[in-house]
Amino acid sequence: MSQGQGFGFGFGKMKELTEAFKKAQQIQEGAKQLQEDLEQMEIEGEAGGGLVKVIMSGNQEPRGVTIVPEALDEGVEVLSDLITTAMKDAYQKSTSTMRDKMEELTGGLSLPGF
């Protein structure tokens, strides 16, 4: 090993690595804020043209279910299906929102040399 070459990183590579660590730290801080934002969000899923509505947070925590009285006329099996469909709708919207927000947060990250 010749003198002054360290671990194979030249000055330019070390600077790139430092910048990558700074970006990673910014993403970590942004992720913490994003988690707080997702917890505060209320995302609505629905089924049966609004007969059943489910509210979830942005991180898929169930918050509530609303069932209009007319939904009870549909019978237990149909009502059960409507609730499941509304839950799936809220879950899909919530995960899509989370994924989009994470892509916004990490979109500029590129690790040099990897």
List the chain domain ranges.
11-106
Residue 46 DSSP SS3: strand
d(CA 33, CA 27): 10
Strands (DSSP E) along the chain, which ranges?
43-47, 52-56, 62-67
d(CA 30, CA 110): 16
Top-level class of domain 11-106:
alpha beta
pLDDT tens figures, 45-94: 999 999 999 999 998 999 999 999 999 999 999 999 999 999 999 999 99
d(CA 33, CA 98): 12
Residue 111 is predicted with a pLDDT of: 46
Percent of the chain with pLDDT over 90: 48
Comparison of pLDDT for 75 and 25, the residue scoring more:
75
d(CA 61, CA 35): 12
Is the whole model's pTM more than 0.95, yes or no? no
Measured in whole angstroms, the distance separating CA 81 from the mean position of its chain's CA atoms is 26
Measured in whole angstroms, the distance separating CA 64 from the mean position of its chain's CA atoms is 20
